[in-house]
């Protein structure tokens, strides 16, 4: 029994995994299969052992192998009477801001202000919008993530086999990433390597924050100064690891948080720059460089700086 001719219903169903879904995490597989079921419900049935792989319990991060038999419990699926709402600005980006595309992947110049995926009170994100606008693409999965307020290069796989290969490139640091960010104050140094471990934490209000802590996971970022302004410094940040909020936390640890950062920045400075025209966090994923797993050629993809940031910088240069 394969994914194509079997699915969930009012009874327990058993699905045999084929090569298309080999290597995919069980939670992502279930989210795509059980459209209309809240993610919280999906994670709950996995946690309770109602979902099984080859008759054994599994965790949400377990990856599927070709030939695995997945047990799907009876799950009520909401009627799909309405489509996911995709705002016009996001539709435009998803249709017109593709930096690179072939049969295996696409790279989008992600707009600021949109989450890469739905959840945590967000009905939909980049990946859900892309799937809706491209029903002909049966498989679309995020290779990595960008924060909601970060713009720039976002890599999306169009085949499960490519997703596995791209994940391996990220795991082995075979992908070079660089970000443009505007830091508060005038940074005296021309370059600096920050090697400071990061630990995830939870504040009382439930907001997730990350802190520099010896008990955290290793994290390394290289900063290089590009230009000094009156009250700010443009830098290029190249993370060697991919920890949550890594560049933002390392910049704040240097004493020069990113302008517009609502979580790790300085509220008074953010307000000042907002009045001057910088109405978002100034963090942009400018470049991605890696060897194409199928074609063997080196891809160097650059995302142009959003117009609102270009306009702001031009004003700053005139001061």
Distances (CA, A) of 290 to 44, 102, 107, 298, 314: 37, 15, 12, 6, 32
DSSP symbol at 293: T
| Closest to 255 measured CA to CA, from 182, 179, 187, 198 | 187
Phi–psi pair at 284, nearest 5 degrees:
-135, 125
Which residues make Cβ contacts (< 8 Å) with residue 302, sequence separation at least 6? 99, 153, 286, 287
Q: Where are the beta strands (DSSP E) in the chain?
A: 13-16, 52-53, 56-57, 69-72, 98-101, 105-110, 141-142, 151-157, 176-184, 191-195, 198-202, 208-212, 220-228, 232-239, 283-291, 298-302
Which residues make Cβ contacts (< 8 Å) with residue 69, sequence separation at least 6? 14, 15, 16, 17, 53, 54, 55
Active site residue 147: yes
Show contacts of 185-189: CB within 8 Å, 24+ apart. Answer: 185/231, 185/232, 185/233, 185/255, 185/256, 186/228, 186/229, 186/230, 186/231, 186/232, 186/233, 187/225, 187/228, 187/233, 187/235, 187/254, 187/256, 189/225
Catalytic-role residue among 97, 147, 149, 261: 147
Enumerate the active-site residues.
147
């Amino acid at each position: 029994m394969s994914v194509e001719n079997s699915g969930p219903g009012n009874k327990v169903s058993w699905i045999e995994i084929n090569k298309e879904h080999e290597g995919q995490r069980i939670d992502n597989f279930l989210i795509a299969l059980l459209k209309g079921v809240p993610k919280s419900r999906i994670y709950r049935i996995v946690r309770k052992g109602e979902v099984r792989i080859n008759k054994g319990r599994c965790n949400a991060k377990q990856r599927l192998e070709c030939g695995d038999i997945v047990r799907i419990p009876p799950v009520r699926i909401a009627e799909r009477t309405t489509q996911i709402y995709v705002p016009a600005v996001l539709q435009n980006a998803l249709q017109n801001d593709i930096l690179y595309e072939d049969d295996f992947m696409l790279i989008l110049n992600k707009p600021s202000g949109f989450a890469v995926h739905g959840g945590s009170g967000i009905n939909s994100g980049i990946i859900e919008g892309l799937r809706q606008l491209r029903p002909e693409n049966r498989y679309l999965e995020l290779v990595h993530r960008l924060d909601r307020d970060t713009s720039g290069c976002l890599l999306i796989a169009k085949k499960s086999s490519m997703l596995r290969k791209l994940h391996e490139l990220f795991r082995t640091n075979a992908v070079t990433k660089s970000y443009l960010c505007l830091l508060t104050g005038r940074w005296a140094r021309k370059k600096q390597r920050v090697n400071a471990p990061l630990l995830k934490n939870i504040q009382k209000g439930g907001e997730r924050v990350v802190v520099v802590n010896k008990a955290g996971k290793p994290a390394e970022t290289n900063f290089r100064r590009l230009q000094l302004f009156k009250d700010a410094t443009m830098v290029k940040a190249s993370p060697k690891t991919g920890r949550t909020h890594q560049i933002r936390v390392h910049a704040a640890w240097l004493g020069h948080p990113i302008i517009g950062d609502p979580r790790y920045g300085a509220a008074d400075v953010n307000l000042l720059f907002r009045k001057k025209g910088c109405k978002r966090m100034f963090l942009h994923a400018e470049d991605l460089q890696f060897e194409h797993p199928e074609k063997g050629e080196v891809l160097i993809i650059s995302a142009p700086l959003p117009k609102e940031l270009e306009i702001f910088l031009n004003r700053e240069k005139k001061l």
